Amino acid sequence: MDSQPSGGAAATVWRIVDASRITPNTVTVLGFLGICAAAVLAIERLWVISALVFVASGLVDSLDGLLARHQGRVTAFGAFLDSTLDRIEEGLVLTAVAFQFADAGDAVPAAACVLTVLGSLMVSYTRARAEALGVECKVGIATRPVRVVVLSIGLVFGAGELISDVDLLAASIYAMAGLTAFTVGQRVLHVRGELKALEASEEGLNEPSDV
């Protein structure tokens, strides 16, 4: 059954999208290019504009799954491409921020950016590895939407550009570094518990029953 909404502005939007023949993978790539632009703007220290482009690109990127379902084009490769570019996007913006900190001689927040990139990758990896072992693993605080919100706040209020004497960029990076590390710990403990329960269940099934 077609998932297209009936009537109203939503239906008009879907008609325009269908007429454009845009594909879900195209939307994914457009979102990625937008994030690249946000990273360039961050390098130029245009924090507020970078944040706006970052958020807008993230919203565009979030539509690829909806479009795929609407067009009946949900594919394994599309999901793979989306997940891969998501990891690159976050790393690009954080690298741009780290460059600015390093250029200003702020070694601690620059190092925190590196830790945040590592933490973000590990949050994703723990879920992927757990699911490969047959364990669902969506627990944890620092999911990607949360990380996007925290980083966006830091960019908007970076270097006092929006509000004089208010600079939350370094604080947002420290928060992300801590939250990602905590989330990795949450997922490791979750998977450990789930695998132990699974092993215990399998041992119970293999035990000979009394006759």
Which portions of the chain are predicted below pLDDT 70? 1-20, 161, 204-211
In a domain, 196, yes or no: yes
The pTM of the full predicted model, rounded to 2 decimals, is 0.80
CA distance 74 to 209: 46
Task: Return the pLDDT at 173.
Answer: 96
**Number of domains the chain is built from:** 1
In a domain, 184, yes or no: yes
In a domain, 148, yes or no: yes
86 is an active site residue:
yes
In a domain, 1, yes or no: no
CB of 162 closer than 8 Å to CB of 156: yes
In a domain, 210, yes or no: no
Task: Return the pLDDT at 164.
Answer: 73
Domain harbouring 131, CATH code: 1.20.120.1760
List alpha helices for 44-75, DSSP H. 47-71
In a domain, 171, yes or no: yes
In a domain, 70, yes or no: yes
Task: Return the pLDDT at 209.
Answer: 58
Give residue 164's domain range: 8-201
Of 58, 59, 84, 70, nearest to 22 (Cα)?
70
Mapped onto helix, strand or coil, the DSSP state of residue 22 is coil
Task: Return the pLDDT at 2.
Answer: 47
Task: Return the pLDDT at 141.
Answer: 93
Q: Which of 18, 86, 165, 167 is catalytic?
A: 86
In the numeric block, the tokens 């239906």 are attached to: 11
In a domain, 2, yes or no: no
